[in-house]
Chains A and B, each alone.
Chain A
Amino acid sequence: MNTTLNNNTLKKEKLNSGLALPKVTEAIVRPILFAAAVTAVIIIILIGFFILQKGWPVLSTYGLWNMISGTVWQPTKELYGILPMITGTFYITFIALVIGIPFGLATAIYLAEIAGSKTAALIRPAIELLAAIPSVIYGLFGMVVINALMRHLQRGLLSGILPPDYQLGYSVLSGGIVLSIMILPTIINIVEDALKAVPHTYKEAAFALGSTHIQTIFKVLIPAAKSGIVSAVMLAMGRAIGETMALIMVIGNVTALPEHGLLSLFAPSSSLTATIALEMGYAGPEHQAALFAVGIVLFGIIALLNAFVIVFTRRGGQQQL
């Protein structure tokens, strides 16, 4: 009994000696890979920690409510009201969505339902490319082309009704237009996928009931792809709120609340992101802390949006099941 056991272990040892190296590698590799996998989580925690830690001094002494309801941003006088930037951010995002959603939806429907495989093969890479173009290129294009057009409009047709500081080209509307182009790929890709994921039987049933193609698209496919469309809009919104460079180059970066109602479409503006990027370069310690506090607000807005997307898509997915 004992000897056979010894024999067995001997045999095993013999076998193992040939495999010693792989076994060691195996033992080392696993923790290394685990460390790599956890990095993303660690980074997220570090980001949250450092933004909070750096912004906390200003946020706690000045007060979150004072900050987001304050209308004057003058860091040299320790006035940290960021309401103008928040309204700027949301105003521009709103315009971008108003222009971008119909076009994005229409393009997605065209690609998923109407386009032949050859035209789709031409347009899809173009959309991919649109997503790959750096934001500074969009910024440059907006700065020289869209702002020039805007100036033309402001000083020509609208010169009578616009105050002089609204005639510079740099405007909320330019920012919205540039962003609407930048969010197109996000909307198109997600909506197209959502439309294609609708079971084919839905469509056949609609056709069998005698509906036309357009009726089928708008009454059957779009309602069925609802959750995909909503998350596309949310993600596009996140992208628009987070965009920095293209906005800096086209909106004029003036921290003021819109005052002239609908005309403020043509007002120069600022955004949360643009202010951080522009002012970090020369800010003193207190001013820097204030900018980190702006970062906290931005981070909070994006986190809320993301949480909404995650909850919504999960619920939508269950509904479809």
Chain B
Amino acid sequence: MITKPKGKERIIYLFLVLSGYATLVILCSIIVYILLKGFSHISLEFITQTPRKMGAEGGIFPVIVGTFYFVTLTILIAAPLGIGAAIYLHEYTREGTITRIIRFGTELLAGIPSIIFGLFGYAFFVVLLGDITQGWSLLSGALTATCMILPTIIRTSEEALKTVSRSLREASLALGATRWQTIYKVVLPSSLPGILTGIILGIGRAVGETAALLLTLGGSLLMPQSLFHGTRTLSMHLYMVAMETGNMDAAYATGVILIIIVLLINFIANYGIKRLVTRNTTTTARS
């Protein structure tokens, strides 16, 4: 039975409890500070107008649009690749040398600092493939970000595939479905919530990424016209405004919008998806 700690142990105990709450306090103080500082600067004009003086004045509309395009494009490239890789690893092969190499590569990729991705993206997508990507552009940035979020999507998708029970697969195969039909019609639908969580986590990472994009996305403040034009994301904008113009109000306000997006993404990943999961599992249990 666990007894109440006495004497010296009480101090240790207290330190453990306080540290637990400290993380909560740190998180809240960072979020609340940025929200308090930035909220007064946010207005309809700030969100809908174009920036003036390098973002020190005016709004951030092109940046919001640029962020949206960038994230969408990244996910459109990364999701099929990542989910495909996970399906291959989990459904199409046995564990062996090839899967070990692939897993090792994925693990390594997850540990590489974002500035290295930036250097690579610059050398490969911006310079070498410049004729295709037009140098610093949405496409170069999205391809670089794809490399970065691929491990997240592969890992979460594979976890999701693991949760689908063997009997479901066997039932489908017994009914004469081919392997791909089974995956497409049975396995993927029932692992969808997990896969979506992975994609949402990937979106979160893409939204927050800055260092790699400084070297690949271009940083233009103009409205992006196509895949081949440069743009900047909210994170980049925050950094550039804070460091280059010194107008902290605009930086705080951008920070507020960024934090709201991140909170929303986290909320959806945690609660939206969980509700989807419970609904799914209850229906399968009933049938």
A residues adjacent to B (C-beta < 8 A): 19, 22-23, 25-26, 29-30, 32-41, 43-44, 46-47, 50-51, 53-54, 102-103, 106-107, 109-111, 113-115, 119, 122-123, 125-130, 132-141, 143-145, 181, 184, 188, 207, 212-215, 218, 235, 238, 241-245, 248-249, 273, 276-277, 280-281, 291-292, 295, 298-299, 302-303, 305-306, 310
Contact = CB atoms under 8 A, between A and B. Distances in A.
A125 B243 contact: no
A140 B30 CA distance: 10
A302 B235 CA distance: 25
Interface stretch (B98-106, B163-171, B220-228, B278-286): B98-106
Contacts of B17: 110, 114
B111 A302 contact: yes
Given A115-B20, A245-B211, A41 B101 contact: yes
Contact of B215 (A22, A33, A109, A277): A277
| B104, B105, B235 pick with most chain A CB within 10 angstroms | B105
The 9 closest A-B pairs by CB, nearest first: A242-B113, A134-B208, A36-B84, A110-B20, A106-B19, A41-B105, A33-B88, A244-B211, A37-B88
8 contacts: A36-B85, A106-B19, A109-B16, A129-B263, A133-B259, A136-B239, A136-B255, A277-B214
Contact of B105 (A44, A53, A134): A44
A36 to B, nearest CB: 3
B9 interface: yes
| B22, B31, B210, B215 pick with most chain A CB within 10 angstroms | B210
Contacts of A53: 123
A43 B109 contact: yes
| A39, A184, A281 pick with most chain B CB within 10 angstroms | A39
Given A36-B88, A114-B13, 12 more contacts: A32-B84, A33-B88, A36-B83, A47-B117, A110-B20, A123-B20, A126-B23, A132-B262, A140-B251, A141-B34, A144-B37, A305-B111
Nearest to B20: A110
Contact of B30 (A54, A137, A248): A137
Contacts of B109: 40, 43-44
B258 A292 contact: no
B114 A22 contact: no
A291 B89 contact: no
Nearest to B242: A140
| B13, B112, B154 pick with most chain A CB within 10 angstroms | B112
Interface in B201-260: 204, 207-211, 214-215, 235-236, 238-239, 242-243, 248, 251-252, 255, 258-259
| B22, B111, B151 pick with most chain A CB within 10 angstroms | B111
A128 B23 CA distance: 11
Contact of A40 (B115, B122, B154, B208): B154
Interface string B107-142: 111011111111110111000100000000000000
B68 interface: no
A218 B24 CA distance: 24
Given A132-B262, A136-B239, A51 B1 contact: no
B115 A213 contact: no
Interface stretch (B42-50, B55-63, B175-183): B175-183
A33 B85 contact: yes
